[in-house]
Structure 1
Amino acid sequence: MINKLIKNTTTLLLIIDLLIINLVVYFVFEKIHQSFQFHAYISTFWLITIVFTNYYKVYRFTNYFRLLKLIVVQALFFTLGFFAYFGIFKEGEVVNTQFKTLAITLGSLALIKLSTFLLLKKIRQSGSNFRKVVFFEKDDTTKKMIKLFKSRGSLGYSFLGFFSNKTSEDSNYLGSEKDLYDFVQTNEVDEIYATLSNLKKSQVKKLTKYTSLHNITLKLIPDSKEFYSKSRNVEFYDDTLKVLSVNKLPFDLIENRVIKRVFDILFSAFVCLFIVSWLYPILWILIKLESRGPAIFKQEREGFNGEEFVCYKFRSMYVNKDADKVHATKNDSRVTRIGGFLRKTSLDEIPQFFNVLLGTMSVVGPRPHLESLAVEYQKDVDNYLERHAVKPGITGLAQISGYRGEIKKKSDIKNRVRLDIFYIENWSFMLDVKIVVSTILSMFKGDENAY
């Protein structure tokens, strides 16, 4: 129970901090100046600034200096935002309890931050909330790290042993590389530390791929010539112990998943209220007038983690037995006249905003495929299944890059998957915005591959 609670410490602390901010404002701030506007402003400002200051990125190896720096920097940002409100909305007004409110708020937030930090250290010192770690290959730096983990229980690391392709009589030796992966799965290892000086590039690549797929943290112990890239962060466990942390993918971070889901809900709700509400009955009538059959076409597609879901579209074809087997081709006789217009403008995808609200799709993401076709694509593309790491989207990076519609040759699906995986590995909120804007513009310009 304690371990589960600690795993959600960041979310819990964020909620507590927001409660403190709003409670202090409510009970200390002058009532005459209180308003929903101020509460909303100060809460939103806090949420925005923590993204830039990394206020909640505190790890078990974080030292007191780093913690103090986070508190001071966040306090400075918050102070600027606090007084900026009065300059923008309450110019000229004197608020006697400004400094008192600010002082109590910052003091309370700092106390919570420090108390939580010390409490977690105490819990780890007692033997709870530890992370199971193993090492792959061994050198002098590895020995220092093992000694550090054993001597400082407050870090909360449980050293299980090390693997090496060189056999050893050491009691901590667990086997060779081929034994590593089975051991990690069987013993629920949390982190793997690998010594770069003793590993080939192919071994590092294999480790990186394996740990990413199985949600295991990979830490690389560098040699003096090791270069640092965007995908790796330098972390100091002690004054002399330096480790490279392989960055998590964007969607491994809960805050990114929350941001994306909130955007999905707000954007889809807007579209449904202001577009679908009047467009749906018009298109329903036009589709029904031209051909028999339902206005909404339902089809099973592959979704998040490969699970099937019912995808909704406006029917753009005459009812036919091959609708679930064969994609539309150029000048396809199955496509109706109104259907051709819907497909050209992408309006046939509009009902998928209901899929987004239901949680089976996202506004932006890899396009969902039919299971029968997905099996064929997996034969042509080795990393095809990595697309399933996120929810499928109404539109995506591949679609705005010219890869939509009929797949004529193997390179088409390979390029789509390449762009889908690039999107997953490099996601940002602004990338989603860019893709949505590009999709809207293409609806008016048209796309030669949309038929």
Structure 2
Amino acid sequence: MIKPYASQLAFVSRCLDSALIVLAIVIVGWFNNQAVTSDFLMAGLLGGLLHQILADFTDIYRSYRTESLWAEAKQVALCWTMGFVIICLLGQFSPVEATLFSWPMVAQWFIAVLSMLLVWRVVVRSAMRRLRSMGYNSRSAAIVGTGSLALQVASRLKSAHWAGYKIHGFFDDRRKSRELDFDCRRAAYGSSIECDAIGTINELVEKAISGELDSIYIALPMRAEKRIQDILARLSNSTATVYVVPDLNVFEHLHARSFNLNGLPAYGLIGEPMRGLNGWLKRLEDIVIASIILTMISPLMLFIAALVKLTSPGPAIFKQQRYGLDGKSIKVWKFRTMKVMENGSDFKQATKGDNRITRVGAFLRKTSLDELPQFINVLQGSMSIVGPRPHAIAHNEEYRGIVKNYMRRHKIKPGITGWAQVNGWRGETDTLEKMEKRVEHDLHYIHHWSVWWDIKIIIKTIFKGFIGKNAY
């Protein structure tokens, strides 16, 4: 119903966005009892023009049929924010009315425009979802393959309930020997994935040429390159849209993302978990919480420093070389708990009954109070409050060759506490299994990081993470 008019709808969307930007500045002017002068209108028209120019960079008028509302909202917010910042900068160097770019009018305009841009999209999505549930504007999809990847594609299409996709069938010439296995995998995805048929590639091509299919998703293993090319050649006489879904599950990946390599599409399997907004949020969280905690514990730190200094010869603070972000060397601050200060490749991990540990040091290590100076590391930016614990360089060199994905824990800053620590994997790692479990928890944290999860880990640390039976 809508597909033939997609370009016209995109044009209408562009016009509506620009009109709302102008309308918002008029409403804000009236709300503040300001006469809507030509300066106001010119600012609104400039905002609409910039929004359209930046829309081509943020691609906000693409089809969001298979994407969530949150994905669309982020792109729209980014586009408008960029345009708004440019308008404000230009306003500082142009002879416009001062009231236009004064507080709170400028903030009201920003919020009003963003709200309007998002609200009409929510309304349209709700209406389209209703229409598609009634059978209008639906899409017929076929999936090539009957393996686990094909089931994942079907599951994603089914979960995108707003998109109105109907899975027409699974097609694979090699399906006969795997039908039972296919049914078992399908059951593993919770509810059964409904479809009309499981057929051959010949049947797929016939349906595509006859116009029964809107979209075809090829979900075959990466080793099936020749089969994929043959299927693409046979589908070239149809008007169906064909997608190839790469089977990247055969790789261990960390925050994978696609990107454009000077015109060549590429896929980064090992990415940067804390890049962009996530990195800023994580850093802001660290600064705020570390500042509060240091203010509260500074008398305690002074007392511990004096106690360490008075009970054994040597400095109160010990700075040890550890691996930080991207495996680069950092100096981690700790209260000295040993009679000696070992570092580098000569370091030997503390064990139960270790005679190098002082009496005060034993208590500090057992209660993790020796880690308190690391909040200074957090403010310096070399550490985070929550993250994988930094190991001694000697341990990194020992385990990086025998524990799978060991160094990937260094894709984010090391932390004072972490998911592994609150789950009991702290202290001495005298067996390979203990280190593997620690790395497993660290990577799980990196994959699923959020501010709320950090807060949960901090709370768990307060109640159960400071004292542990494995800390010596």
Question: What is the TM-score of this pair, normalised by structure 2?
Answer: 0.50
Given the superposition, is the C-alpha separation of residues 68 and 25 from structure 1 closer, same or farther in structure 2, using an over 3 Å criterion? same
Given the superposition, is the C-alpha separation of residues 331 and 68 from structure 1 closer, same or farther in structure 2, using an over 3 Å criterion? closer
1:204 alignment partner AA: L
1:308 alignment partner AA: S
Asked if 1:281 corresponds to 2:302, the answer is: yes
Asked if 1:447 corresponds to 2:472, the answer is: no
- Asked if the contact 2:255/2:447 (under 8 Å) is kept, the reply is no
Asked if 1:365 corresponds to 2:387, the answer is: yes
Given the superposition, is the C-alpha separation of residues 68 and 306 from structure 1 closer, same or farther in structure 2, using an over 3 Å criterion? closer
Match of 2:249 among 205, 226, 234: 205
Match of 2:226 among 154, 160, 166: 166
1:303 alignment partner AA: G
Given the superposition, is the C-alpha separation of residues 110 and 291 from structure 1 closer, same or farther in structure 2, using an over 3 Å criterion? closer
**Correspondence 1:100-139 to 2 at 5 A:** 108-109=113-114
**Correspondence 1:68-217 to 2 at 5 A:** 108-109=113-114, 165-166=225-226, 194-195=244-245, 203-206=247-250, 209=252, 212=254, 215-216=257-258
Asked if 1:309 corresponds to 2:309, the answer is: no
Distance 1:298 1:371 in 2: 13
Q: What corresponds to 1:385 in structure 2?
A: 407
Q: Any idea what SS the aligned residue of 1:344 has?
A: helix
Mark the structure with the bigger radius of gyration: 2
Asked if 1:260 corresponds to 2:282, the answer is: yes
Given the superposition, is the C-alpha separation of residues 388 and 215 from structure 1 closer, same or farther in structure 2, using an over 3 Å criterion? farther
Displacement of 1:68 in angstroms is 13
Given the superposition, is the C-alpha separation of residues 206 and 284 from structure 1 closer, same or farther in structure 2, using an over 3 Å criterion? same
Q: What corresponds to 2:291 in structure 1?
A: 269
- Asked if the contact 2:418/2:457 (under 8 Å) is kept, the reply is yes
- Asked if the contact 1:249/1:424 (under 8 Å) is kept, the reply is no
Distance 1:336 1:26 in 2: 70
Q: Any idea what SS the aligned residue of 2:400 has?
A: helix
Given the superposition, is the C-alpha separation of residues 25 and 305 from structure 1 closer, same or farther in structure 2, using an over 3 Å criterion? farther
Q: What corresponds to 2:14 in structure 1?
A: none
Distance 1:285 1:401 in 2: 32
Distance 2:406 2:378 in 1: 23
Given the superposition, is the C-alpha separation of residues 432 and 102 from structure 1 closer, same or farther in structure 2, using an over 3 Å criterion? closer
Given the superposition, is the C-alpha separation of residues 302 and 62 from structure 1 closer, same or farther in structure 2, using an over 3 Å criterion? same
Distance 1:371 1:59 in 2: 50
- Asked if the contact 2:336/2:370 (under 8 Å) is kept, the reply is yes
Q: CA RMSD in A?
A: 4.9
Q: What corresponds to 1:294 in structure 2?
A: 315
**Correspondence 1:208-247 to 2 at 5 A:** 209=252, 212=254, 215-216=257-258
Asked if 1:406 corresponds to 2:428, the answer is: yes
Match of 1:437 among 459, 463, 471: 459
Match of 1:328 among 326, 350, 369: 350
Tell me which moved more, 101-110 or 402-411. Answer: 101-110
Displacement of 1:423 in angstroms is 0.6
- Asked if the contact 1:250/1:427 (under 8 Å) is kept, the reply is no
Displacement of 1:440 in angstroms is 1.1
Identity %: 37
- Asked if the contact 1:397/1:419 (under 8 Å) is kept, the reply is yes
Question: What is the TM-score of this pair, normalised by structure 1?
Answer: 0.52
Displacement of 1:206 in angstroms is 3.2
Displacement of 1:384 in angstroms is 0.8
Q: List gaps (5 residues or longer) in structure 1.
A: 1-20, 32-55, 76-99, 115-138, 145-161, 174-192, 197-202, 219-244
Given the superposition, is the C-alpha separation of residues 450 and 194 from structure 1 closer, same or farther in structure 2, using an over 3 Å criterion? same
Q: Any idea what SS the aligned residue of 2:285 has?
A: helix
Q: What corresponds to 2:340 in structure 1?
A: 319
Displacement of 1:194 in angstroms is 3.8
Q: What corresponds to 2:173 in structure 1?
A: none
Displacement of 1:254 in angstroms is 2.7
Match of 1:417 among 408, 423, 439: 439
The C-alpha deviation readout for 1:424-443, integer Å capped at 9, x for no partner, is: 11112221111111111136
- Asked if the contact 2:339/2:358 (under 8 Å) is kept, the reply is yes
Displacement of 1:113 in angstroms is 8.1
- Asked if the contact 1:250/1:425 (under 8 Å) is kept, the reply is no
Given the superposition, is the C-alpha separation of residues 70 and 407 from structure 1 closer, same or farther in structure 2, using an over 3 Å criterion? closer
Q: List gaps (5 residues or longer) in structure 2.
A: 1-23, 35-57, 78-104, 120-200, 209-221, 234-242, 261-266
Distance 2:107 2:358 in 1: 65
Match of 2:396 among 339, 357, 374: 374
Distance 2:448 2:70 in 1: 31
Displacement of 1:30 in angstroms is 7.8
Distance 1:362 1:285 in 2: 26
- Asked if the contact 1:29/1:101 (under 8 Å) is kept, the reply is no
- Asked if the contact 2:320/2:343 (under 8 Å) is kept, the reply is no
Displacement of 1:376 in angstroms is 1.3
